[in-house]
Amino acid sequence: MDYYSIATILIVLSALFGYLNERFLKLPITIGLMVITIAFTVIVVAIGQFDDTLLLQEKALITGIDFETVLLDIMLSFLLFAGALHTNFNQLKVQRWPILAFATLGVVVSTFLVGIGMFYVLKLMGLQVDFIYCLLFGALISPTDPIAVLGILKKAGAPKKLETKIVGESLFNDGVGVVVFLTLFAIAAKPEAAIALTDIATLFGQEVIGGIVLGMFLGWITYRLMRSIDSYEIEVVLTLAAVMGGTMLAHQFHLSAPLAMVTAGLIVGNDTVRNSAMSKTTELYVDKFWELVDVLFNTILFVLIGMEMLVLTLEGQFVYAGLIAIPLLLLCRYISLFIPITFFAKRLDFVPKTNLIMTWGGLRGGISIALALSLTKDMHRELFLVITYVVVVVSIIGQGLTVEPLIRRLTRSKA
């Protein structure tokens, strides 16, 4: 099946499922699309027991899509730029130190806690998995998904300072998480080769610092170009060029494209740049354009996630491991956030129960599935893919549906 046909089918399904959600379920778009897509896939599988024509076609569609490449190399840059563009820069600046701690120290600590926990859980289940592969799972599952988080927090009514922490962390920690994953992947792929700490530090620094510097440069260039003209059509195209060209440059020089896009989006979207470089018409069109891009890619992404269940090896033991992993991950996230929150709560005015809300509001999504798909067979790909899928589905549907009432209840006294 050619790329145009695949894209057409995905957009038609996304439009149909999105309509059904808005017309009948009225759930947040990320949750509604996943629920409908999973229900659709289950129905197709059931029909396939009598006539497998539709089932084979859906399987052919999914196997023809390189989910890892589509999300990590293409869609993620657009989604992160769109999310950062509409993030409150001033609030982010105030909360920058706790957000930095959550996105770096929090991810690293969570990676090791999850890795250690899963190593012993799998061992108790009779599954012999090397510790390094459990660490890889810890790295791919620890970052929260900004795509899922942003969509749900829009309706949660969280206090701005709390929303900034959750959104800011989710925007940055996926880039850090990907770098941690790639570092551990390099170690796991060549266990007999000695990898020096300096090599690890160089890789981490190149990806993270290089990505942020590239994002600053892209944001500054885009700002200067937009300031020199007054044409909303060309200025919208300039923002699109910054994302697409910047992503290509990041891949070419092995820099973190997610961190570059977040940084560029924050610069282009902050109030100072808006007031000095954009007319009211330009600002309206830029915002609306990226809102539409965000919605379009979100709908396609969560339809893809729902359909990915067709390519899973759904062994009972793998599913049980995924269910056991859920409370373990929540506990590890709570612990990894405890030290930064305790430290910064004395300096900044934190909302009560911040740790609990951030733990429950830290949703996992497509990034974790994409990274799990990149594992090799020797790294127990099928096992960790099923565990990741179970965690993501429960996270988005279970936590996603309950995080709004949780936030309202715990912050009611501060409203």
Architecture per CATH, domain 68-414, reads as Up-down Bundle (1.20)
Which position has the token pair 């806690």?
Answer: 113
415 confidence band (pLDDT: 50, 70, 90): very low
Contacts (Cβ under 8 Å, ≥6 apart) of 84? 171, 261, 262, 263, 264, 265, 266, 269
Rounded to whole angstroms, how far apart are CA atoms 340 and 362?
A: 16
Torsion of CA 39, 43, 46, 51, to 10 degrees: -150
Task: Evaluate whether 165 touches 102 at the Cβ level (below 8 Å).
Answer: yes
Rounded to whole angstroms, how far apart are CA atoms 52 and 44?
A: 8
Token pair belonging to 281: 């018409």
Q: What is the pLDDT of residue 241?
A: 98
Residue extents of the structural domains in the chain: 3-63, 68-414
State the average pLDDT for the chain. Answer: 91
Q: Running DSSP on this structure, what letter comes out for residue 253?
A: T
Token pair belonging to 355: 């740790």
Contacts (Cβ under 8 Å, ≥6 apart) of 403? 152, 156, 357, 360, 361, 363
Torsion of CA 114, 380, 72, 11, to 10 degrees: -110
Q: What is the pLDDT of residue 154?
A: 63
pLDDT (tens digit per residue) in 70-118? 999 999 999 999 989 988 888 888 889 999 999 999 999 999 999 999 9
Q: What is the pLDDT of residue 146?
A: 73
pTM of the shown model? 0.93
Q: 157 pLDDT exceeds 80?
A: no
Q: Average pLDDT, stretch 325-330?
A: 97
| CA-wise closest residue to 383 among 331, 325, 332, 329 | 325
Label residue 287 exposed, middle or buried (CB < 10 Å: 0-12, 13-18, 19+).
middle
Q: 60 pLDDT exceeds 60?
A: yes
Rounded to whole angstroms, how far apart are CA atoms 371 and 138?
A: 11
Which position has the token pair 């592969």?
Answer: 133
Give the least confident one: 201-205, 320-324, 335-339. 201-205
> In angstroms, what is the C-alpha Rg of the chain?
21
* Residue 415 neighbours by CB distance under 10 Å: 7
| CA-wise closest residue to 364 among 305, 290, 409, 291 | 305
